[in-house]
Structure 1
Amino acid sequence: MHNNNRWQKLDGEDGKDENITKLCDLPDGIVQKILSDLPTKEAVATSVLSKSWVHKWTGINKIDLELLDEVAPEKRQQFIDFVEKLRVFCNTSSLKKFSLFFEVGMEAPRVTKWLSIFVNPNIEELKLELYTVKEPLVLSDQFFTSEKLTKFELSMSQVIKLPSTINFQNLVTLTLKHVIFPNYYCTTEFFLSLRSLKEMTLIDCNWKKVGTIIITCPLLQKLFIRDWKDHDDEDDHHDNEEEVEEELAEELNNDVNDITAVENLNYHHGLIRILSNELVSFTYDGDLMNDYSLFYTFSVSNATIKLHEQHNNMLHAGHFIYKLFIALSGVTKLSVSDFALQALCQPLLLAAHLPLFFNLVKLRVTSPSAVDLSCEGLHSLLRNSPFLEKIEFKEGITLAANGGNLINPLPGCFWTKLKVIKIYDFCGSDGELNAIKFLLQETLVLDTLYIQYNESHFDSPEGTKMLDMLLEQIYEFPKASMDCDIEVE
């Protein structure tokens, strides 16, 4: 019978057992590493192995505590009891990583005490996802001057309590979800302390108490912003939408060429200006709850912009996307939603003022349904991207029978640079066929037209026959580029 507490090393020549070592004989450093890599409950459970193992787990350097939402009251109490015992017996000074997922409810004082124990000056990575926080939680002032902290994630729909002195000198990665910033002064001091920050994620944060703020992160390389509308604000949004449109039209004073007038009308919760000349990757996914602007972002090479049509005011969306395009004109890869491109076609005529995207070689257009190839915002972006080599339409494309006549003049990249077009979710409508026919006729140096069909749409014997007929029709379309291959999947 094999002993589970032994490793056996075999000699390669004579097959004899040698160097049989007991697990408990391993150096403490290796034991601690093994225990730290286990789930916390399993690491604590090793205390029952033998007398010599009773306290070995207390020196672990990582603790992960998670309680799923809506558990039975007895399960919740068991979790609380476990954490209470953990904070008493664990040598928290050795902790380097700590995470807590917990629905706080009425336990705010208890959780604050937990944090005061587990979050020590040696913590390098801290992740807190706290739900139903009814009272403000407090992290020690000492935490906000940590020299060791490199990664901090906080999800909490509550005002974050910030001390007067903040200095995260080595923080590299920051994620904030649902956080309510307290005021202009404290929030400014917080972001000024992030001198080493390279990655920042802001998800549905609340800037109402802050107003306008400038965030300067000189080393920031990656920025992700999600700014979705809270369902609680939905009624207010619909009630105010017509009023906002009227105010905006009046503010513009019927001057369709005035692309700055919108800045004088602000119905956003906050105006956030972000400065970083090292930024490489930028993503915005939102409902324009706050006004984000980028400055000195010439180094951005990869950008994603997604605006949601169901929540956004079209005129404000147009101005917002225009400002982002100005700041991101140096990108090499760009993903943009079709609503963002449609917004550029509003009376402001912002599309006519777009910058040139000299470095853009790959464009992805996302949408809830097929993109209309006759969209003027899309035309303007293509015309201002002279070196574009690849386009992807993630939900397909469509074009009315005479829609090609509206694309005038044709983008220069159609004749000189565009080599790959990818079309997804093909269903075989007349609009899709018109769009494909137009693209094949007007792209002079196209190498590959890639078509991915919607499997569920053709998932039958009749559907398979229909797909074959549609593809035969596509293969017969005239092509401006004789070297173009049509690939189907």
Structure 2
Amino acid sequence: MDQNSCTSNKRHERNSNSIRICDLPDPILQLILSSLPIKDAIGTSVLSKRWEHLWLGISKISLKEGTYEKRRQFIVFVPKLLEVFDCTNLEKFSLTFRVEEHASEVNEWLSGFINPKIQELILCLDGMNESEKPLTFPDHLFTCSTLTTFGLRLRNVFKLPSSIYFKSLKTLCLVDVTLPDRSSTEQLIAGCPALEQLTLMDINWVNVETLCISSDVLQKLKIIEPVEYDVLSREDEDEDEDDDMGGQDEQNCCNIVISGTNLKVFSYTGAVTSEISFHSPASVMDASIHVQHHYSECMDNIDWEPAAGSYVVDLLKDLRDVEKLSVSFVSLMALSRASWERLPLFSNLVELHVVSTIISLTCEGLIAIIQKSPCLQVVYFDKGVYMLKYRGYCGYIMDPVPVLSRTQLRRIVIKHYSWDIYEDEFDAVKTLLQALPVLETLHISCSGDGNSPTGSERLENLYQKIKSLPRRSIDCEIVLKYMK
């Protein structure tokens, strides 16, 4: 047999062993089509006779109106899709649309696409005024036994029926929703016996003064409130402004009581609007307290710091058993001298993250938490750290060395080393190395371009400068790199 024949046989053997897309069974092809944008999936119908109706068996549809210019096309396209598509086997459905004057059309879409066997439902429905008539969801949605994930963004009342039972729902996310009343909201939570993750973001609490979140299976709870709904900055507003704006803010807060024996992760982000308390906080292992506020209001309003500081302390008291804690710059700033003296002992805290903006190592709130954490081993400065030697945005200053020298900190991670306030940042690194007795690793990620010759040289010079600093822990490893 000549060489050409051998080559031809090998090529034929490879081709016979390869699998072409047309050889795949219909269920596999429909799974592939389900990952495509719906119009692309429909476009495959022209490929061949076999593909003509194949897209009709897809299990996932995602609809997004896109640009304003294409809005009219979208409104015409969706009902045509409903006419030809059999939604009975649809497992995942998402819709992003500005409702405005098309509430009746949206009600028809929801009724058509949401079947009793739906597994994942994501609805982002903007462009509605709170005074408008609520959207109507199909009754079978609220007793759906297959739904596992439900996300709803709706600046309107979320109208709830008297009977709610999501047997399999594990993840629930509500954004911009106006909850109807306390009873219906608590019934919604109670009607999710398998709920593991709950997110409440920018909720309008106008109809709910108190809410009890009670679940023995809930593992992760995230509460996010908007900064503009700040009730602490209304002290200096005149009566007219308070009637026009403050009244809404006053109503848009809630007394939230959290009760659950299996809650592992808790996160709060906001402007200390709603009161939050725990009945059984010991189970929480990972907590985030990200108080947010406009810096100008922080400094102009003398009542802000003690009020916010008390809020942060009360939350931290409930979460004293956490192993991992993330706090924002503003949270630490709020811990004034009167507040941090009330801090609990964090006996189990091992890992601390400081987020949102660069922080001074002399910040009293930061040093107070470190002092109250005898088992703390790792601190992440996610936006950098520097040394401030006067009273500023970071709160009262405090000499960090006496506290740091008595810690068991083994790892420090500094991100976003910016070079912009180089000496102050370098002074913080110097203080950490000189104060920490058992530090094993100092990891610094620098901002900038590490691929340029000057960038590499700059990093090497910084490394040599840090390496020459005296270290209390002689075994400490210094790691420098540019951020990706």
1:99 Cα deviation from its structure 2 partner:
0.8
- Tell me which residue corresponds to 1:417: 408
Amino acid at match of 1:477: L
Q: Distance in 1 between matches of 2:322 and 2:187?
A: 31
Counterpart contact for 2:433–2:473, Cα < 8 Å: yes
1:29 Cα deviation from its structure 2 partner:
3.4
2:470 aligned with 1:481: no
| Structure-2 change in CA distance of 1:104 and 1:478 (3 Å) | same
Counterpart contact for 2:345–2:372, Cα < 8 Å: yes
- Tell me which residue corresponds to 2:65: 67
Amino acid at match of 2:471: K
- Which piece of structure 1 moves more, 29-38 or 205-214? 29-38
- Tell me which residue corresponds to 1:446: 439
Cα displacement string for residues 27-66 of structure 1 (whole angstroms, at most 9, x for unaligned residues): 5434433433332222223333455544433332211111
Match of 2:254 among 270, 274, 282: 270
- Tell me which residue corresponds to 1:126: 121
| Structure-2 change in CA distance of 1:289 and 1:20 (3 Å) | same
| Structure-2 change in CA distance of 1:351 and 1:51 (3 Å) | same
- Tell me which residue corresponds to 1:432: 425
- Tell me which residue corresponds to 2:336: 345
- Tell me which residue corresponds to 2:247: none
Match of 1:217 among 195, 208, 215: 215
Q: Distance in 2 between matches of 1:385 and 1:152?
A: 38
- Which piece of structure 1 moves more, 445-454 or 85-94? 445-454
**1:395-406 alignment runs, 5 A limit:** 395-400=383-388, 406=398
Cα displacement string for residues 209-242 of structure 1 (whole angstroms, at most 9, x for unaligned residues): 1111111122111222221234xx68x975x233
SS in 2 for 1:481: coil
Counterpart contact for 1:398–1:434, Cα < 8 Å: yes
| Structure-2 change in CA distance of 1:21 and 1:303 (3 Å) | closer
- Which piece of structure 1 moves more, 298-307 or 158-167? 298-307
**1:45-84 alignment runs, 5 A limit:** 45-50=43-48, 53-68=51-66, 70-72=67-69, 75-84=70-79
1:129 Cα deviation from its structure 2 partner:
0.8
- Please report the TM-score for the alignment, with normalisation by the length of structure 2: 0.82
- Tell me which residue corresponds to 1:38: 36
- Tell me which residue corresponds to 1:315: 306
Q: Distance in 2 between matches of 1:163 and 1:100?
A: 22
SS in 1 for 2:367: helix
Q: Distance in 1 between matches of 2:327 and 2:445?
A: 20
Match of 1:386 among 359, 374, 398: 374
Match of 1:151 among 149, 152, 172: 149
2:134 aligned with 1:103: no
Cα displacement string for residues 309-334 of structure 1 (whole angstroms, at most 9, x for unaligned residues): 31663233212211221222222222
Counterpart contact for 1:426–1:451, Cα < 8 Å: no
1:472 Cα deviation from its structure 2 partner:
5.1
1:85 Cα deviation from its structure 2 partner:
1.1
Q: Distance in 1 between matches of 2:459 and 2:26?
A: 65
- Please report the TM-score for the alignment, with normalisation by the length of structure 1: 0.81
Counterpart contact for 2:362–2:389, Cα < 8 Å: no
Unaligned runs of 5+ in 1: 1-9, 245-265
- Which piece of structure 1 moves more, 176-185 or 396-405? 396-405
- Tell me which residue corresponds to 1:262: none
SS in 2 for 1:127: strand
| Structure-2 change in CA distance of 1:11 and 1:174 (3 Å) | farther
| Structure-2 change in CA distance of 1:326 and 1:82 (3 Å) | same
1:304 Cα deviation from its structure 2 partner:
2.1
Amino acid at match of 2:188: F
1:24 Cα deviation from its structure 2 partner:
7.2
Q: Distance in 1 between matches of 2:24 and 2:37?
A: 20
Amino acid at match of 2:111: S
Cα displacement string for residues 422-446 of structure 1 (whole angstroms, at most 9, x for unaligned residues): 2332535443343333322221111
- Tell me which residue corresponds to 2:168: 170
| Structure-2 change in CA distance of 1:46 and 1:467 (3 Å) | closer
2:111 aligned with 1:116: yes
1:108 Cα deviation from its structure 2 partner:
0.4
SS in 1 for 2:278: strand
2:274 aligned with 1:294: no
Cα displacement string for residues 47-106 of structure 1 (whole angstroms, at most 9, x for unaligned residues): 3345554443333221111112x421xx22221222111111111111111111111111
Q: Distance in 2 between matches of 1:22 and 1:426?
A: 52
Q: Distance in 2 between matches of 1:293 and 1:17?
A: 66
Counterpart contact for 1:278–1:297, Cα < 8 Å: no
* RMSD (Å), alpha carbons: 3.4
Counterpart contact for 2:361–2:400, Cα < 8 Å: no
| Structure-2 change in CA distance of 1:16 and 1:320 (3 Å) | closer
1:110 Cα deviation from its structure 2 partner:
0.5
| Structure-2 change in CA distance of 1:161 and 1:484 (3 Å) | same
- Tell me which residue corresponds to 1:140: 138
Unaligned runs of 5+ in 2: 1-7, 239-249, 299-303
Counterpart contact for 2:205–2:252, Cα < 8 Å: no
Counterpart contact for 2:205–2:253, Cα < 8 Å: yes
2:235 aligned with 1:241: yes
Amino acid at match of 1:386: P
Counterpart contact for 2:317–2:344, Cα < 8 Å: yes
Matched length: 447
SS in 2 for 1:229: coil
- Tell me which residue corresponds to 2:88: 93
